Amino acid sequence: MRLSVLSSLLIGSLALGGCRSSSPAEVLAITPSRDVTSSVAPSAPVPSADVGAKARVAVAASNPVARQTDTIAIPPKEQVLAWAGTPAQTTGVLANMPVAEPVVAPTLRPTVASEADRALRGRTRVYAHRFSDAKPINFGKVTPRHYAVHGVDVSRWQGDIDWPKLRTQGANFAYIKATDGGDHLDPMFRTNWRKAKEAGLKRGAYHFFYWCRVASDQASWFIRNVPRDPDALPPVIDVEWNGESSCKRRPSPEKVREKMQVFMDMLERHYGKRPIIYTAPDFYDDNLRGAFTSYPFWLRAVAQHPSKVYPGRNWRFWQYSGSGLSQGVNGKIDLNVFHGTEEEWHRWASNDGA
């Protein structure tokens, strides 16, 4: 009886000694799950190790992922992202330390760009137009609705404008009356200039040209009153015959073009952008047909498409109505479209009209 007890103790001691002498690598052979974050893709095929029947049973009982295979993937050391130790700690035996829970990549929700973010990228949101017209016109096959980007032009006569509301109605750009001749500033210019930008519109300023004033004086007056904003659209020279003006002078076509060139050259030097020419059919026929081919045009055509009113003339903007109606404005407002797609608008506006 006593001998049997001693024998049993001896055998147990040997068994324990054998367990202590087992290789740590064998004890820690159960390795992390194959799940890794989706942002890290293995650079090479992941080796696998057969861990024996008993080890497989133990792993399968505790790890549902491992139940699906007879082998357990051992990812490269740099891909075991759950272990955040120092390089020294991740070497040797600890490199195969089992992971208690699989690493799951966080779900990233797409962010919606704010108006400020879009503005920084030079791409403000384009709203579909919701304007109506007090005097609707049938333009035929190609109508203003066929163009993606709509806008307005305004002056003191629109009064106090609700610019955020006007923008959501489809005013993606606005040309704002700044100056007349050599001594008149539109009393709403500064307010409209500031509020239009705050509402996220692309905006530019225009000058109504007087034929009884020196061109250089008019350019100096415009420059004095219109800030040099790199985000602004190119400046506009509005040339037309105005029967209501006190100036009844109608210079020759040569003199008209000479005065326009002086004014536009001064503005281009100051603002670094080639001015746009706004005009109406009668003035165009008298003075501008075939002239200024390197300048962008903004054409008034409220009864027909510009291609019929100004044959052969390329244009950038089309003013198609002087009787537009919109929320955000009391009374009527001029309506316009940009000649191009939405993508072309973004490119043109971001290149400052080039």
Tally Cβ neighbours within 10 Å of residue 76: 12
Catalytic member of 26, 240, 244, 268: 240
* Three-state DSSP state, 110: coil
What lies within 8 Å, CB to CB, of 185 at 6+ separation is 178, 179, 225
Alpha carbon of residue 6 to chain centroid: 86
Give bridge partners of residue 112 from the DSSP assignment.
none
Task: Report the C-alpha gap between 274 and 295 in whole angstroms.
Answer: 7
- Which tokens sit at 15? 């068994």
* Three-state DSSP state, 10: helix
| 240 is annotated as an active-site residue | yes
Q: What are phi and psi of 86, to 5 degrees?
A: -75, 165
Per-position DSSP letters for 167-189, written without gaps between them: HHTT--EEEEEEEETTTEE-TTH
Q: Are 315 and 122 in contact (CB under 8 A)?
A: no
Tally Cβ neighbours within 10 Å of residue 214: 14
User: Which residues are known catalytic residues?
Assistant: 240
